[in-house]
Amino acid sequence: MAEQLESFRKETRDWLEANCPPEMRQPVRDEGDVYWGGRNATFKNDAQKQWFEACRDKGYTVPDWPKEYGGAGLSPAEAKVLRQEMAAINARPPLSSFGIWMLGPALLHFGTEGQKQRFLNEIARGEIRWCQGYSEPGSGSDLVSMQTFGEDKGDHWVVNGQKIWTSYADEADWIFCLVRTDKDDKYKGITFMLFDMASDGVSTKPIKLISGNSPFCETFMDDVKVPKSYGEDVPGYVGEINRGWDVAKYLLGHEREMISATGGGDRATSLGAATSRQGELDPVLRAQMALFDIDALSFTAMSEKFMDELKAGKGHPAQPNMLKYAGTELNKRRNELMMSAGGSTALEWESEETSGGKTARGWLRTKANSIEGGTSEVMLNVIAKRILELPGA
């Protein structure tokens, strides 16, 4: 077993050596370095193309998915080895996509064989770029109160409504979208639909954030026709009609885990050590930094502990909520302190010295951490109810 893994590690190392171009062995600096795939995708340079294609052909865009759906069929242990070896050479992800992170897991769990064959392969091969249609202006934390409605027309629905916070809706090919199909049942009246963003009646509008331009959009649906089927065994929805909330909940849990996994920022480094390099720290600020570092290092330990427990099947289902709550609050505090340490330089919004206000924009962007993927308040509600079993509403 351990021997097999070691031989896999050796193979992987060799394969990476042969296939990952030097340009792809550098940290992602900006959005331009990310390859999202899709119908209209272009490569930034040859290295990006070469790296993507090598991974695609090997199944390494989604290494732990089964081979028949475009993955490499790696075991969890093998997938971990691959991650470690890629990290060791700073290899960039060959393909980023909400298809991989969100829709894929939902289809693997709820999809029909036909859906998996078609959509998972498209995702794995970077052919179709997906976006997500969950929140609505009136339905944030209370997601299930959403109003976008699909009228049943026999073999299709006619969908009307508005979604918000659809990341990259303006660049995505298809959307997975929560649509109300029964107005009488709040929870059992939602269908998890899949449709082409090029359909008649779909339009998008980018949302500018306090941190500047953003990938988020508003998405408007005006008499959009969504087929109930895209061919044999390929329904136009995931799971059952009117039971899309089950799929949505499954994905929300998944999303919170993902967000919490990145919470707390770069955990390996001491914030105080990093910021003190900019100049001598004010003694009171130094004290706050130290108190922060204590919290951050402790949080990292909890994060590690939960991952270990999760792997061992010992995890509590509400743990991701705690990670998300504590991790995002910590990340906001980290950025407040970074702004303080940076002083007036960190206030600069457009200067070259700050790479266009990177510190300030990053700081403002973290304010969304405790909102997106479930607010801190919702997380606290869940902890109170599901872990502490406190009574009442």
Judged by CB under 8 A, the chain residues 291 through 320 that form the site for a second copy are 291
Residue among 265, 332, 334, 373 that touches another protein (CB under 8 A)? 332
Determine if 88 is a binding residue for a second copy (CB under 8 A): no
Per CB under 8 A, the segment of 89-97, 142-150, 256-264, 288-296 that binds a second copy is 288-296
Within 8 A by CB and 6+ apart from 381, the residues are none
User: Side chain identity at 65, as an amino acid letter?
Assistant: W
Residue among 58, 83, 125, 286 that touches a second copy (CB under 8 A)? 286
* CB nearer to a second copy: pick between 287 and 380: 287
Q: How far is CA 387 from the centre of its chain?
A: 25
Cα–Cα distance for residue pair 157/149, rounded to 1 Å: 9
* CB nearer to a second copy: pick between 25 and 286: 286
Determine if 5 is a binding residue for a second copy (CB under 8 A): no
Determine if 393 is a binding residue for a second copy (CB under 8 A): no
Per CB under 8 A, the segment of 12-20, 95-103, 251-259, 349-357 that binds another protein is 349-357
Cα–Cα distance for residue pair 51/89, rounded to 1 Å: 14
Cα–Cα distance for residue pair 53/239, rounded to 1 Å: 32
Cβ neighbours around 223 below 10 Å, total: 11
Residue 217 host element (H or E): strand 216-227
User: Side chain identity at 276, as an amino acid letter?
Assistant: S
Instruction: Supply the minimum distance, in Å, between the C-beta of residue 286 and a second copy.
Output: 7
Which positions from 193 through 232 interact with another protein, judged by CB under 8 A?
207-211
Instruction: Supply the minimum distance, in Å, between the C-beta of residue 343 and a second copy.
Output: 18
Determine if 45 is a binding residue for another protein (CB under 8 A): no
Are the C-beta atoms of 338 and 271 separated by less than 8 Å? yes
Residue among 266, 298, 317, 355 that touches another protein (CB under 8 A)? 298
How many positions of this chain bind another protein (CB under 8 A)?
A: 92
* Integer angstrom CA distances of residue 322 from 29, 96, 171, 381: 30, 26, 33, 11
Determine if 314 is a binding residue for another protein (CB under 8 A): yes
Rg (CA), the chain: 22
Residue among 299, 331, 334, 338 that touches another protein (CB under 8 A)? 299
Residue among 276, 313, 320, 374 that touches another protein (CB under 8 A)? 276
Q: Nearest-5° angle of CA 12, CA 15, CA 16? A: 85
Determine if 151 is a binding residue for another protein (CB under 8 A): no
Q: Fill in the per-residue mask, 235 to 264: x = in contact with a second copy (CB under 8 A), - = not in contact.
A: ------------------------------
Task: State how beta strands 149-152 and 156-167 pair.
Answer: antiparallel
Cβ neighbours around 261 below 10 Å, total: 15
The residues that touch a second copy, with contacts defined as CB under 8 A, are 283-284, 286-288, 290-291
